[in-house]
Structure 1
């Protein structure tokens, strides 16, 4: 356990060796309480993390005019500048920059990618092949970890361990590197400058690597903010709204935030490992406990996620 016993550390080594049940049991406990856990032996090589960290920071440290050439044209891919989004209830936009990619489809036309608001061509900075390769290496390794975690989640819900596979043919996996500049104090000192304001994640499962700066905080059962301090060699895992809905509220999509009080820059890598755009999220599919009614009507993954994204961007526009 970490110093914060509210967020347990789960060893994925047994699951990687085929013992899914043990990880499933531990995940069940974590997700009905905090909705968060750390995982070690996650399978993403340290070299992949370090290469992506180095290449991303080199990019984020460029002048804004140069980075702005790679703003999203479609499918929420590319560079997102400061003040791009604002979370519900926040007084001002998140104080962060991020660069996001999604799945790359073969260029020879052998595979026809789905056409929707979340899937399309990636945007890559010109003259930075190492940046692209570092992103793709990490992206693929994170997907493998996500697949393993979902097997454990299925097991934890007494489902076949391959339950989620049929919903992940063209997954809405988005991986983003996130740069938090040292926070600037606002003129109005009664409000807080958040790296990310309090929110729940939109999709099914999130995999987060964070540097040693700190700043991630999670709401406990008493609605107090407790730190999810960096633990070397681990990822932070949490569920989002879609898995909460899918589990009929058995699993908790928990509020969390980033408050960078360190006085220095902060860096993290987030992967949102979500189902196909048209995948139907229906609590009845996961088996409702006897006598329990469904809390939610079915919804498609893409419609729900895009609704949350558009809401955050529209709120930002209304603040201007």
Structure 2
């Protein structure tokens, strides 16, 4: 669940991260761990890692656009992305029973912690996004499209030039819902500092922090299993 006062999210996830062509996972940060591929789905690893690579191509293309939008060299945000701290996940949302009420969510209101999220959803719907007026609007599935969310880390990196998007999932369709998600982040040692974009004299509230330290801090604050 996304807050201590909320009900647990009504979903299940299978999560995996970066590994090299030999299947090895770097040991450079505590948020990494060996991917757990089930023996009874022998093709899963190949298909999952293919998606992981292709979705990174989409993320890299978008990050080049974000850099150009700020007048930066197009690969500015991609200088340290050879062993990204990205995670990908298959997410399953069961049909949401009506008797659970309106305070039960597939996933509660939140903004994504990292740099960028690339989301592929099925045709069920249920994703809602909060607009600048605080109103929840549907983000319906569009065949052949992806949904992209700016995350908190990119907002911090650009001092709010790109803003993270509050969103949630309400699966009131009566059907199972599936999504395929890439949470894109650079290498864990990447320094996140808006002053490197705007100049040393630029007034910014946040101190420099590495990508890995920022995500660790956010996970420690958010999830009960990391608080205990």
TM-score in terms of structure 1 length? 0.66
Structure 2 residue 20 is matched with structure 1 residue 102? no
Shift of 1:137: 1.3
Give the unaligned 5+ runs of structure 2. none
Structure 2 equivalent of residue 283 of structure 1:
194
- When the two chains are superposed, the root-mean-square deviation of aligned CA atoms in Å is 2.3
Q: Secondary structure at the match of 2:154?
A: helix
Measured against aligned partners, the alpha-carbon deviations of 1:77-101 in whole angstroms (never above 9, x if no partner) come to: xxxxxxxxx1026521111001011
Structure 2 residue 75 is matched with structure 1 residue 162? yes
Structure 2 residue 217 is matched with structure 1 residue 307? yes
Structure 1 equivalent of residue 168 of structure 2:
257
Shift of 1:136: 1.3
- Structural mapping, 1:189-208, within 5 Å: 189=101, 192-208=103-119
Shift of 1:185: 4.5
Structure 2 equivalent of residue 212 of structure 1:
123
The one of 49, 54, 57 aligned to 1:144: 57
Measured against aligned partners, the alpha-carbon deviations of 1:79-126 in whole angstroms (never above 9, x if no partner) come to: xxxxxxx102652111100101111124498xx824322223210001
Q: Distance in 2 between matches of 1:203 and 1:90?
A: 23
Q: Distance in 1 between matches of 2:35 and 2:66?
A: 30
Shift of 1:315: 7.2
Q: Distance in 1 between matches of 2:162 and 2:198?
A: 13
Distance 1:108 1:117, change over 3 A: closer
Structure 2 equivalent of residue 153 of structure 1:
66
- Structural mapping, 1:10-49, within 5 Å: none
Structure 2 equivalent of residue 120 of structure 1:
33
Q: Secondary structure at the match of 1:129?
A: coil
8 Å Cα contact 2:115/2:184 also seen in 1: yes
Q: Name which one, 1 or 2, has greater alpha-carbon Rg.
A: 1
